[in-house]
Chain A
Amino acid sequence: MFDELTVEAYGLEKSYGKLKVLDGIDLRVERGSVYALLGPNGAGKTTTVRILATLTGADAGRARVAGFDVARQRHRVRRTISLTGQYAAVDDLLTGEENLRMMARLTGLRRGRARRRVAELLERFDLAPAARRRVGTYSGGMRRRLDLAASLVGQPSVVFLDEPTTGLDPRSRQAMWAVINGLARSGVTVFLTTQYLEEADRLADSIAVIDGGRMVAEGTAAELKAKVAEQRLDLRLTDRPAFDAVAGYLGTRAIQADPARLSIGVATDASAGHIRAVLDDVDPRRTAVESFAVHTATLDDVFLALTGHVIAAEKETADV
């Protein structure tokens, strides 16, 4: 079991001045899996990645990456990882090819092998036609892909991606997801952070939800969704008195209530029998419920249920 873990962390803590950014984070990432650290801005995602990638020391706790201690065996760790941060680490004045070739030289590849590796990466990341153009002329999505390609030159076995699609348009995001999925299939362990629930859902084998420097939940997307009831029966009430009556009757059994839309949600297994029973139970006279809908829980619901607030950034960045 121990051998199967590529990243493990126990009780990571970090403060900047009086601000406690990480307050005891434990992580276990299996080899070859995609692990997502999901949380809003300021949750401690970047700090966690920086500690695991040996760039920042933790105040307390221990972490091992690929079997090496991130504090005491920093150089060993650095030889097995790559980091792609939130800001593309490429030179705008150099061409895509020159950027990759520089990375190849820095990872110690000789000229011939470097050239082949660079050509291969340009091809794989769909950048070959733009290889001789300066990066300053690239689109946001191309820059991110080049940045990721640059981080893979040295064939790392653990890849850290800090918010790989933040600020990208939907099409570039899809392209990036395809790239990350491909990476995972090639046997690399991917550790990513995201504020997008959909992203974690689409990419990750395992998801950790963090908020305010603490881990609030961990599991597969399905397991997390199960925490808030896999399916939800949304009842639409006829009017406000009916809403108040049903809300009062259900009490804490209601997992969601929205007076403005006269809507109340209860957990369900989505079977006809259960839905019929719920309807009969809350509305024996068949006057209060106007309509109903069965709703499959999203990670949004999970996040709301676990932290008491929504991930606000989602809407904002979806328009960009």
Chain B
Amino acid sequence: MSNATTMVGRSVRVSSRQVDAVLTSLMLPIMLMLMFVYLFGGAIDTGTKYVTYVVPGVILLCAGFGAATTAVSVSQDMKNGIVDRFRSMDIGGAALLAGHVAASVARNLASTVLVLGVAFLIGFRPRATLVEWLAAAGVLLLFILAISWLSAAVGLLARTPEAAAGFTFFVMFLPYPSSAFVPIDTMPSWIHGFANHQPCTPVIETLRGLLLDTPVGSAPWQAVAWCGGILFASVAVSGVLFRRRTA
């Protein structure tokens, strides 16, 4: 357990010094938010002010993209000799990966707060009660956790950090065919099936409903099921992959 704490400290410290990566994972969602709100927003009719509609989607994009960079850091560790060093010190893959995931969670909660701050400046006015804020934070945390572990598994699978970086793009584009930026019913009908039943949509709908104090329906349960499922599968797969990669 104390090893895991040390590993978390390591990952947090390392990621706080990756200035370019930190800036990218912050600037990208903020730029996207400004672009959507000021450039595209005028043409999109969502029934509310567009900034109100889009902020939950931007938060999810930010968290997902930030969490996905876990794949790159895990893959870097696998490539250089540090994993062998840790294993020869009897420190297992679980502590190492947990360190990366915990750092990812810390990093992304911080950047979410910043994105929310900017959103507030440009006119986002959430109407959530304290309980709703906590529930939204909980769902977002679960989402970050799930994507981080999934990314850790991808990082173990990728042969190079460059290949792992490709995964961050996949995660960054996943929110587009969802209800993040435009309502799904404005999309062509053939994409409805996917957009309605991919993990981003229930997470976004949950965040949106909780922050704006509107009905959420079954979205929270779907979100928890998706994230829980991804989390469970990723942890299991990571264990197997770590053992295989280091055999």
On A, residues with C-beta under 8 Å from B are 50, 53-57, 75, 78-79, 81-91, 93-94, 98, 102-103, 105-108, 134, 150-151, 154, 160
Contact = CB atoms under 8 A, between A and B. Distances in A.
A93 B14 contact: yes
Contacts of B84: 50, 53, 55, 83, 85, 89
A90 B82 contact: yes
A285 B188 CA distance: 102
Contacts of A82: 88-89
A45 to B, nearest CB: 15
A93 B17 contact: yes
- B10, B82, B84: which has the most chain A beta carbons within 10 Å? B84
B246 A55 contact: yes
5 contacts: A78-B89, A82-B89, A87-B80, A89-B82, A106-B91
A91 B82 contact: yes
By Cβ-Cβ distance, the 3 closest A-B pairs, closest first, are A89-B85, A85-B81, A83-B88
Given A57-B247, A106-B3, A106-B6, A89 B81 contact: yes
Interface in B60-118: 80-82, 84-91
Nearest to B83: A89
Nearest to B90: A78
A108 B6 CA distance: 10
B85 A86 contact: no
Contacts of B9: 102
Contact of A94 (B3, B14, B90): B14
Nearest to A90: B82
Nearest to A56: B247
B48 interface: no
A54 B84 CA distance: 10
A54 B247 CA distance: 10
Interface extent on B, as a size class? 20 to 34
B189 interface: no
Contacts of B89: 78, 82, 103, 106-107, 154
B18 interface: yes
Contacts of A53: 84, 88
Given A82-B89, A91-B82, 12 more contacts: A50-B84, A78-B88, A83-B85, A85-B81, A91-B14, A93-B14, A93-B17, A94-B14, A94-B17, A102-B6, A102-B9, A107-B89
A107 B14 CA distance: 20
A87 B84 CA distance: 10
A301 B12 CA distance: 52
A151 B2 CA distance: 19
Contacts of B91: 106
Nearest to B246: A55
A102 B12 CA distance: 13
A54 B88 contact: yes
- A84, A85, A150, A160: which has the most chain B beta carbons within 10 Å? A85
B13 interface: yes
A55 B246 CA distance: 7
Contact of A87 (B10, B81, B247): B81
